[in-house]
């Protein structure tokens, strides 16, 4: 799921670059993208580093809901200020579905803790945070971090910088006090 999520994020950044969002929805849209990255970043870090139990599943549900709400906010904001072409809509469809698909897969895999979290099943819900045992290999975590930086964090940092600079320039260029 992670490679697909990262490629969808990169695809979204490419769409924004082609559409020149720095001259339409600008910094606010880019900031909403950072909010969604933070929401999913928390979820992904938890799933990679912590033992999946009731506590982690609850966190993942909360982050999926937060991401969903932020995505709707982003789309409403962006659609009021710029055109969202079909390829970008396809990318958004993938980005909308992936957190929920990942969550459902983890719930199925860890159904004993998912059921226990809502008071069903025979297992006892574990609401404590535990490091994943066995931990994922350091090389795997490093590769994931490298890919996330390369495909998601750096492109969206570039987008924010581009939007911020355009906003600053347009403010100065159209400042009635000048």
pLDDT in tens, 78-137: 999 999 999 999 999 999 999 999 999 999 999 999 999 999 999 999 999 999 999 999
In a domain, 39, yes or no: yes
Q: What HEC string does the chain produce?
A: CHHHHHHHHHHHHHHHHHHCHHHCCHHHHHHHHHHHHHHHHHHHHHHHHECCCHHHHHHHHHHHHHHHHHHHHHHHHHHCCCCCCHHHHHHHHHHHHHHHHHHHHHHHHCHHHHHHHCCCCCCCCCCCCCECCCCCCHHHHHHHHHHHHHHHHHHHHHHHHHHHHHHHHHHHHCCCCC
| Residue 170 pLDDT | 64
Q: Give the per-residue pLDDT at 173.
A: 52
Among candidates 125, 130, 134, which has minimal Cα distance to 58? 125
pLDDT of res. 169: 75
Look at residue 54 and tell me if it is in a domain.
yes
The pTM for the full model equals: 0.90
pLDDT of residue 171: 57
- What rounded mean pLDDT belongs to the chain? 94
Q: Is the pLDDT of residue 174 over 70?
A: no
Question: For the chain, what percent of residues have pLDDT higher than 90?
Answer: 93
Q: How many domains does the chain have?
A: 1
pLDDT at residue 176 is higher than 90 = no
Whether 60 is covered by a domain: the verdict is yes
In a domain, 73, yes or no: yes
Structural domain including 44 reads: 22-156
In a domain, 175, yes or no: no
Residues 6+ apart with CB under 8 A from 87: 11, 15
pLDDT in tens, 150-170: 999 999 999 999 999 998 876
Q: What is the pLDDT of residue 115?
A: 98
The answer to whether residue 170 is domain-embedded is no
């Amino acid at each position: 799921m992670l490679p697909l999520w990262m490629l969808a994020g990169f695809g979204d950044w490419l769409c924004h670059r082609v559409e020149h969002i720095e001259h339409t929805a600008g910094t606010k849209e880019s900031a909403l993208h950072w909010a969604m990255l933070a929401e999913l970043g928390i979820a992904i870090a938890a799933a990679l580093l912590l033992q999946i139990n009731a506590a982690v599943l609850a966190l993942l549900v909360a982050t999926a809901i937060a991401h969903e709400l932020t995505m709707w906010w982003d789309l409403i904001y962006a659609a009021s200020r710029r055109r969202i072409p079909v390829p970008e809509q396809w990318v958004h469809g993938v980005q909308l579905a992936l957190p929920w698909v990942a969550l459902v897969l983890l719930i199925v895999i860890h159904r004993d803790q998912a059921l226990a979290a809502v008071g069903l099943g025979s297992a006892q819900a574990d609401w404590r945070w535990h490091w994943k045992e066995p931990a994922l290999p350091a090389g795997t975590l490093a590769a994931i971090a490298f890919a996330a930086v390369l495909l998601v964090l750096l492109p969206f940092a570039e987008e924010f910088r581009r939007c911020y600079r355009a906003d600053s320039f347009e403010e100065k260029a159209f400042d009635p006090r000048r």
